[in-house]
Chain A
Amino acid sequence: MPSPMALNPSSPSPSIFKKKKSLGQLPSMATAASYLSAVHEADARARSHDISPTSTPALSLSSSVTSSSEDTVLHDIDDNRTGLAYPSNPPTSEQVFTTVHTEFGHCANESYRCVSQHNRDKPVSEHEIEEPPYYILITTYISYLILIVFGHIRDFFGKRFAKQYFTHLMPYAGYAPLNSDFDSFYTRRLKRRMDDCFSYPVTGVAGRTILVYDRYSEDCNYTQIYPGTKSRALNISSYNYLGFAQARGGCADAVEESIKRYGLSTCGTRLEGGSSELHTVAEALVARFVGMEDSLLSSMGFATNSTLIPALVGKGCLVISDEFNHASIRVGVRQSGAHVRMFKHNDMNNFESLLREVISQGQPKTHRPWKKILVIVEGLYSMEGTLVDLPKIIELKKKYKFYLFVDEAHSIGALGPHGRGVTDYFNIPPRSVDVLMGTFTKSFGAAGGYVAGDKVLIDSIRVHGQSGTYAEAVSPPVLTQIVASMTSIMGVAPPPLPAKTTLSLSPSSSVSTLKSSEDDVHPGMAPASAVPSWISLPPSLADGSEARMRIRRLAFNSRYLHAGLKKLGFITYGHPFSPIVPLLIFNPGKMATFARMMRGRPTPIVVVVVAYPATPLVTSRVRFCVSAAHTKEDIDTILNACDEVGDILDLKHGHGERWPLEEITRRSVELVNAF
């Protein structure tokens, strides 16, 4: 009896073909080559479009069908079921909107604007922290207690009876477990229960709305199942303060041009063959934007702090840090080898007494004076939405002679009448701060970060900072987005001599309310020479009028959401002008439910919920990030959603006066101006 293989040597390949064909529903192929190319194509399609690791052929097929129609956002796939695709009030003929409504909302009503500026009559914080009723605190602690107790019980029995789930937590074959079950307890037993609220895969522009991939889990969030469908949701979560996350418009056009001109990478570190002229241009512009002598860019926001702080301080130096400073600052300080002390969040009395103590005591044990003291604060705190008390710190700085480092990751672009951050907001000369640091991820829709200061300092960081020698340089498309968005916020000043050409370039520049720019006036416009000639921004961006509108829309939206939530009876934290609006939820269970309910509404809203360890244990919160891209109607939608969900979840524990929702939406302008 011959073996099956020998029976018909040519049979295996055709039979495989047949089988595959019936599986993939492919049209009949004349040759193996054409079949292979078809398979390759199908594979490539699947590769580029489906995202779930456990995808089936049917799934990838369905997602590739939709792909052709969603290539551009302009011809969007979604009908207006969610009410997000088109404005509720259709624009009139004289209103011309250059943005895509799903990316940047259309809002023509000039009364929905506000100027972000510190009022000297008011205290810096402008808000007080409200305490929830005791039963909320107690139930919160009990909730955590139950979670912890049950978690440990499950661990105890699981390790004995369901060993397959615990292999990575137990020693095996002479290896210690990769993560100890103590360290991962919180992740496994608490976070896993609401994993469906985190790390949502999205697609498209993270603008006013965002497309999220639908998913569900059948095994308590161990695995997520992606049916391949997407839904559009109102995005109140991305750090898109000025709405520059856009696939269309002047900035995106400039980026496209830069890709054609400069490619995608500068292929190396700044000091070893990766320095481009674009870096020089961008650094000069950033310095001018923030009002410093010089600046240095880094290709990652986190790394800006973690790799450049060690160039500022070292052994024998002291860093005084706000207790709520970002993780990147902590990493940077730890790497520097400097001594660290912390003061209570924004508590200036605590800060001053700490200063008096450390200066009088000197270094521990030796009592030698500190070489230098660097105070690191954030302009706007990302979890609290609070503003730093900069006027007071500057006052103390004169007396105590410390150096001041302000991390403006969230405040740059978002605060101040000209979008120049906290110094602009408080009308403090930027050069009274020693180091200004910020990121481009948030307001500018780019990536990376910068430090700015005087020339000696920046040159020293260039040479002694880690990123210049070891980290890849910022890539050209990112640099262009930075330059284009920043220029549009500053506005391009017409060059003094050839007046005619500039007039034709930006006809509306005479409307500009800003002072004409002499060289060192801050905040001034960008001279045309500071911007590469190939970046041609549309007139509304070039004269800065659109960006001014964005800054004022952001200020209105922030204040409106803050005020609206307060009037609805919620407990919120943070400064009214802060685009970060934390709404306190307290109970861990409500947190996940809140996120799910907001997403499940007829107009889905995606929110960020944060809990311990990012916040103190009891004060779990949802964090709204307002954008200039939102319209007043969007904020109404959010207030309405919070109102309904808040009633169900018993979240309204504020003490202030309460208004019904209709009154809030009707009297919004009054509310914003009075609040």
Chain B
Amino acid sequence: MSDGTTSALEPLLTLLAYSLSKLESTFYKVPGSAVVARYVKSSHQNDPGRTILELILVVFAIRTLLQSRTRGDKQGKNFISFSEKEIDELVDEWAPDSLAQPLSEWEQRDIASVPIIAGPNGPKPKLLATGKTVTNLASFNFSGLAGNEHLKERAIETLRKYGLGSCGPPGFYGTIDVHLNLERDIAEFLGTESSILYSQGFSTISSVIPAFCKRGDIIVADRSVNFAIQKGIHISRSTVRWFDHNDLKSLEDVLISVEKDRKKRRGPLTRRFIVTEGIFERDGEMVDLPKLIELKYKYKYRLILDESISFGSVGRTGRGLTELYNVPASQIDMLVGSVANGLCSAGGFCAGSTIVTEHQRINGTAFVFSASMPALLATSASEAISYLRNTPSVLVTLQENIRAIRAVLEKTEGITLLGHRASPIIHFSLRNASQTLSVMPPTYDFDAEERILQDIVDDALANGVFITRGKHLRRQETIDSRPTIRIAVTAALTKKDVEKAAGVVKASVARVLGKRR
């Protein structure tokens, strides 16, 4: 019996012995391995417990290093020791600033001038203050999904099955099947392997960037990217190189210089990312995607593209820039979009390969630490995608409306129309000496210009057209760009309506600027 087992085990044992000897020989081929082996052997011989102890020590050392927290400054050379009495006096003496400053007059006006909508928002909402119906060219309702009855029905069905809130983060029973369905719908719609859903559009990209970009990585970003991207870059602690706004020549120069730097320093290969927007939220410019992808492949960068504005608004069925330029979406490593803007629901997504999305399920802070989005908003977004698939005509209408508005505004005196002609958001600024939306000098009087623009917005509203200034948090943004007025075009209005509305805007511009002269 025992003989039988031994003979059965024999080939196995030979194999084991053979592989062990092979292992040993490969180990000894590694330079310096003999020293290590000798050390381990001798220490193990003298005291077998020591090997374990040392192993534990190494682990602990690593752990302590990883856990280093901000230490107190007590040991620092700047520390001054005080007696208890002195500290008490200092405490009594200390007078903090108030937590918040009252708003300035201009800020008060700014906040008071935001119209509040009574009832549903849509192409022609009613204002709470005046009770008047206005033409809405301020809200993001590109494909006219706001108030869509199918979406509402679907949402009510979902409400009756799922309730409203998800009551948990995705990791802890907050992943509802409708989220997975929407994730798959988005991936299928765009043609990527998979996608991941965040519960707020704004927080999406500022979480996606730090999930991948760490200290030491290189980010090459457009100088005028939106605020969410800036925050993401800030949090990531990566090395940032900026290129001129929507200038791919400048991008290529930066890429070349980064490569040169790396060769000079002979640093290790780090992750490199190009971060930019499809349609820029700030001015409606559109990036030349095929060229961008060419550069990304040429210089071996990964591309993080923010399509918050372009998803659901450009392309034949609203798939965004990839559809417009007929580029496979799989060539964009991380395609970030907004469900809130494009599909009139809430939240945002990041589409890409499965590796990219699965990584975020553990490392995307806004995904991991926040409750998942309400089920009914997910199903209505799924419904919105199938609406876009089946009704390409809305995007034709949208483009017609964009052309109609641009045609009117192009002929308007005193303003400069910005952005790409297909962009659903149209920015215009006052026509001054400097035409471009470049970095403004710090001495530039933003307030004065913003006031004029606000006058135009108010005047347009009084005449029944709701538009808004392109608002930014000055001094929190990395660059302060030229103040603009922003028009968000919608397919829900007829061409006649938008032409009339653009006429009103034109008249308001003329009136306000006329008064100034």
Whether the pair A51, B99 counts as a contact (CB closer than 8 A) is: no
Is A481 an interface residue when CB atoms closer than 8 A count as contact?
Answer: yes
Question: CA separation between A175 and B99, bound complex, in Å?
Answer: 47
Whether the pair A373, B96 counts as a contact (CB closer than 8 A) is: yes
Is B8 an interface residue when CB atoms closer than 8 A count as contact?
Answer: no
Question: CA separation between A34 and B120, bound complex, in Å?
Answer: 39
Question: Which chain A residues lie closer than 8 Å to B74 at the CB level?
Answer: 357
- Could you mark each residue 90-106 of chain A with 1 if its beta carbon is under 8 Å from any beta carbon of chain B, else 0? 00000000000001000
Question: Which chain A residues lie closer than 8 Å to B374 at the CB level?
Answer: 446-447, 477-478
Whether the pair B155, A264 counts as a contact (CB closer than 8 A) is: yes
Whether the pair B377, A475 counts as a contact (CB closer than 8 A) is: yes
Question: CA separation between A200 and B87, bound complex, in Å?
Answer: 54
Whether the pair A171, B365 counts as a contact (CB closer than 8 A) is: no
Question: CA separation between A183 and B359, bound complex, in Å?
Answer: 11
Which of A48, A173, A445 has the largest number of chain B CB atoms within 10 A? A48
Whether the pair A256, B156 counts as a contact (CB closer than 8 A) is: yes
Question: CA separation between A49 and B168, bound complex, in Å?
Answer: 22
Whether the pair B177, A306 counts as a contact (CB closer than 8 A) is: no
Question: CA separation between A299 and B204, bound complex, in Å?
Answer: 13
Question: Which chain B residues lie closer than 8 Å to A247 at the CB level?
Answer: 159-163
Of the candidates A268, A372, A442, which one forms a contact with B97 in the assembled complex, judged by CB atoms under 8 Å apart?
A372
Whether the pair A445, B167 counts as a contact (CB closer than 8 A) is: yes
- Could you mark each residue 193-220 of chain B with 1 if its beta carbon is under 8 Å from any beta carbon of chain A, else 0? 0100001111100000000101001000
Whether the pair B172, A237 counts as a contact (CB closer than 8 A) is: yes
Question: CA separation between A606 and B476, bound complex, in Å?
Answer: 44
Whether the pair B79, A361 counts as a contact (CB closer than 8 A) is: yes
Question: Which chain B residues lie closer than 8 Å to A472 at the CB level?
Answer: 200-202, 338, 340-341, 346
Is B140 an interface residue when CB atoms closer than 8 A count as contact?
Answer: yes
Of the candidates A173, A201, A267, A369, which one forms a contact with B344 in the assembled complex, judged by CB atoms under 8 Å apart?
A267
Whether the pair A312, B100 counts as a contact (CB closer than 8 A) is: yes
Whether the pair B369, A327 counts as a contact (CB closer than 8 A) is: yes
Is A401 an interface residue when CB atoms closer than 8 A count as contact?
Answer: yes
Interface residues of B in 430-468 (CB under 8 A from A): 466, 468
Of the candidates B63, B80, B116, B173, which one forms a contact with A361 in the assembled complex, judged by CB atoms under 8 Å apart?
B80
Tell me which of A8-16, A416-424, A459-467 binds B: A459-467
Whether the pair B300, A273 counts as a contact (CB closer than 8 A) is: no
Of the candidates A71, A273, A361, A371, which one forms a contact with B468 in the assembled complex, judged by CB atoms under 8 Å apart?
A273
Is A572 an interface residue when CB atoms closer than 8 A count as contact?
Answer: no
Question: CA separation between A108 and B49, bound complex, in Å?
Answer: 63
Of the candidates B100, B116, B140, B165, which one forms a contact with A277 in the assembled complex, judged by CB atoms under 8 Å apart?
B116
Is A214 an interface residue when CB atoms closer than 8 A count as contact?
Answer: no
Tell me which of A129-137, A203-211, A543-551, A553-561 binds B: A203-211
Question: CA separation between A204 and B375, bound complex, in Å?
Answer: 9
Tell me which of A335-343, A500-508, A519-527, A638-646 binds B: A335-343
Is A359 an interface residue when CB atoms closer than 8 A count as contact?
Answer: yes
Tell me which of B248-256, B264-272, B509-517 binds A: B264-272
Interface residues of A in 357-382 (CB under 8 A from B): 357, 359-361, 364-365, 367, 369-374
Is A394 an interface residue when CB atoms closer than 8 A count as contact?
Answer: no
Shortest A351–chain B CB gap in Å is: 13
Whether the pair A191, B159 counts as a contact (CB closer than 8 A) is: no
Whether the pair B90, A359 counts as a contact (CB closer than 8 A) is: yes
**A144: nearest residue on chain B (CB-CB)?**
B59
Is B151 an interface residue when CB atoms closer than 8 A count as contact?
Answer: yes
Question: Which chain B residues lie closer than 8 Å to A461 at the CB level?
Answer: 100
**B117: nearest residue on chain A (CB-CB)?**
A276
Question: CA separation between A573 and B365, bound complex, in Å?
Answer: 26
Interface residues of A in 552-571 (CB under 8 A from B): none
Whether the pair B359, A264 counts as a contact (CB closer than 8 A) is: no
Is A517 an interface residue when CB atoms closer than 8 A count as contact?
Answer: no
Is B110 an interface residue when CB atoms closer than 8 A count as contact?
Answer: yes
**A616: nearest residue on chain B (CB-CB)?**
B67
Tell me which of B31-39, B180-188, B239-247, B317-325 binds A: B180-188
Tell me which of A18-26, A238-246, A649-657, A658-666 binds B: A238-246
Given contacts A273-B468, A456-B100, A461-B100, contact A266 B121 (CB under 8 A): yes
**B185: nearest residue on chain A (CB-CB)?**
A47
Of the candidates A244, A303, A334, A457, which one forms a contact with B200 in the assembled complex, judged by CB atoms under 8 Å apart?
A303
Is B65 an interface residue when CB atoms closer than 8 A count as contact?
Answer: no
Given contacts A148-B59, A201-B176, contact A331 B365 (CB under 8 A): yes
Shortest B127–chain A CB gap in Å is: 10
Question: Which chain A residues lie closer than 8 Å to B79 at the CB level?
Answer: 361
Question: Which chain B residues lie closer than 8 Å to A359 at the CB level?
Answer: 87, 90-91, 94
Given contacts A176-B271, A306-B203, contact A445 B164 (CB under 8 A): yes
Question: Which chain B residues lie closer than 8 Å to A200 at the CB level?
Answer: 173, 175
Which of B102, B180, B374, B377 has the largest number of chain A CB atoms within 10 A? B374
Question: Which chain B residues lie closer than 8 Å to A202 at the CB level?
Answer: 173-177
Interface residues of B in 453-488 (CB under 8 A from A): 466, 468, 470-473, 476, 486, 488
Question: Which chain A residues lie closer than 8 Å to B91 at the CB level?
Answer: 356, 359-360, 399-401
Question: CA separation between A90 and B207, bound complex, in Å?
Answer: 49
Whether the pair A477, B376 counts as a contact (CB closer than 8 A) is: yes
Whether the pair B380, A168 counts as a contact (CB closer than 8 A) is: no
Tell me which of B225-233, B392-400, B415-423, B498-506 binds A: B225-233
Question: Which chain A residues lie closer than 8 Å to B78 at the CB level?
Answer: 361, 364-365, 367
Question: CA separation between A263 and B154, bound complex, in Å?
Answer: 12
Question: CA separation between A279 and B119, bound complex, in Å?
Answer: 11
- Could you mark each residue 119-135 of chain A with 1 if its beta carbon is under 8 Å from any beta carbon of chain B, else 0? 00000000000000000
Of the candidates A171, A175, A203, A401, which one forms a contact with B95 in the assembled complex, judged by CB atoms under 8 Å apart?
A401
Is B20 an interface residue when CB atoms closer than 8 A count as contact?
Answer: no
Shortest B428–chain A CB gap in Å is: 15
Is A579 an interface residue when CB atoms closer than 8 A count as contact?
Answer: no
Shortest A154–chain B CB gap in Å is: 15
Whether the pair A175, B160 counts as a contact (CB closer than 8 A) is: no
Is A80 an interface residue when CB atoms closer than 8 A count as contact?
Answer: no
Shortest B439–chain A CB gap in Å is: 20
Given contacts A210-B173, A267-B146, A470-B202, contact A237 B118 (CB under 8 A): no
Given contacts A359-B87, A359-B90, contact A51 B181 (CB under 8 A): yes
Question: CA separation between A335 and B228, bound complex, in Å?
Answer: 12
Given contacts A237-B173, A245-B167, A364-B78, contact A262 B119 (CB under 8 A): yes
Is A589 an interface residue when CB atoms closer than 8 A count as contact?
Answer: no
Is B69 an interface residue when CB atoms closer than 8 A count as contact?
Answer: yes
Interface residues of A in 437-456 (CB under 8 A from B): 439-442, 444-447, 453, 456
Whether the pair A334, B235 counts as a contact (CB closer than 8 A) is: yes
Question: Which chain B residues lie closer than 8 Å to A370 at the CB level?
Answer: 94, 96
Shortest A597–chain B CB gap in Å is: 17
Is A255 an interface residue when CB atoms closer than 8 A count as contact?
Answer: yes
Whether the pair A456, B102 counts as a contact (CB closer than 8 A) is: yes
Question: CA separation between A571 and B226, bound complex, in Å?
Answer: 49
Question: Which chain A residues lie closer than 8 Å to B340 at the CB level?
Answer: 265, 472
Whether the pair B96, A372 counts as a contact (CB closer than 8 A) is: yes
Is B371 an interface residue when CB atoms closer than 8 A count as contact?
Answer: yes
Question: Which chain B residues lie closer than 8 Å to A227 at the CB level?
Answer: none
- Could you mark each residue 36-74 of chain A with 1 if its beta carbon is under 8 Å from any beta carbon of chain B, else 0? 000000001001110101000000000000000011110
Whether the pair B173, A212 counts as a contact (CB closer than 8 A) is: yes
Is B101 an interface residue when CB atoms closer than 8 A count as contact?
Answer: yes
- Could you mark each residue 334-358 of chain B with 1 if its beta carbon is under 8 Å from any beta carbon of chain A, else 0? 0000101100111000000001100
Identify the 7 closest CB pairs spanning chains A and B, nearest first: A273-B138, A471-B202, A302-B370, A267-B139, A300-B200, A460-B100, A472-B340
New A-B pairs, 7, CB < 8 Å, besides A178-B271, A303-B366: A49-B177, A178-B302, A263-B121, A267-B121, A277-B117, A361-B73, A460-B102
Q: Which residues of A contact B (CB under 8 A)?
A: 44, 47-49, 51, 53, 70-73, 103, 141, 145, 148-149, 168, 171, 173-180, 183-184, 187, 191, 198-207, 210, 212-213, 235, 237-240, 244-248, 251-252, 255-256, 259-277, 279-280, 299-303, 306-307, 310, 312, 323, 326-328, 331, 334-335, 340-342, 354, 356-357, 359-361, 364-365, 367, 369-374, 399-403, 434-435, 439-442, 444-447, 453, 456-457, 459-464, 466-467, 469-472, 475-478, 481, 606, 608, 617
